[in-house]
């Protein structure tokens, strides 16, 4: 039976492997203390104060969704999945928006030591309505612009 199913998949051109999710990641270091960087980054709606693409952020009454108004038009709606103040980390997903991605899941984490702090922003997602390379370029651009704004470079 197993061989029949595999043969049918081959005949009809059905893939036997799942598409791999795309990944983006940026890590930046800062002379700011861990607490100071987390104060900027850890506020779920505070992204409007440091990300150059965000015009404003409106937080839902329960604090678990943010609506980001983009400079130049458009909105992105994101949901907070987990917020861990003790470990300076939060996870969120994109519910809707103009970015060419689906199934987007991201984590922002701040770590540090006596010399300063580090921000790590990672995400996994599928391309939607665009080639993989274009989707990756879009998300990489979002992360890099945010990191540059935080470091002042």
Confidence (pLDDT) at 16? 40
Residues 65/79, Cβ–Cβ less than 8 Å: yes
In this predicted model, what pLDDT tens digit does every residue of 102-126 receive, in sequence order?
A: 999 999 999 998 899 999 999 999 9
Fold classification of 20-151 (topology level): Alpha-D-Glucose-1,6-Bisphosphate; Chain A, domain 4 (3.30.530)
Confidence (pLDDT) at 152? 72
Beta bridge partners of 125: 22
How far apart, in Å, are the Cα atoms of 84 and each of 29, 42, 107? Answer: 20, 9, 11
Q: Where are the domains of the chain?
A: 20-151
Which of 49-53, 131-135, 147-151 is the least confident region? 147-151
Residues 126/6, Cβ–Cβ less than 8 Å: no
Which two three-digit tokens encode residue 12? 């009809």
In this predicted model, what pLDDT tens digit does every residue of 58-69 receive, in sequence order?
A: 999 999 999 999
């Amino acid at each position: 039976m197993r061989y029949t199913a595999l043969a049918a998949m081959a005949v009809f051109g059905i893939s036997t492997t799942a598409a791999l999710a795309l990944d983006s990641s940026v890590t930046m270091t800062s002379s700011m203390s861990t607490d100071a960087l987390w104060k900027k980054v850890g506020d779920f709606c505070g992204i409007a104060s440091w990300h150059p693409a965000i015009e404003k952020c409106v937080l839902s009454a329960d604090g678990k969704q943010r609506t980001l108004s983009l400079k130049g038009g458009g909105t992105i709606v994101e949901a907070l999945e987990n917020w861990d103040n003790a470990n300076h980390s939060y996870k969120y997903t994109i519910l809707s928006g103009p970015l060419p991605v689906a199934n987007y899941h991201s984590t922002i984490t701040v770590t540090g030591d006596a010399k300063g702090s580090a921000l790590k922003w990672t995400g996994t997602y599928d391309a939607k309505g665009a080639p993989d390379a274009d989707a990756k370029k879009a998300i990489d651009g979002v992360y890099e612009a945010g990191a540059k704004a935080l470091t002042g470079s």
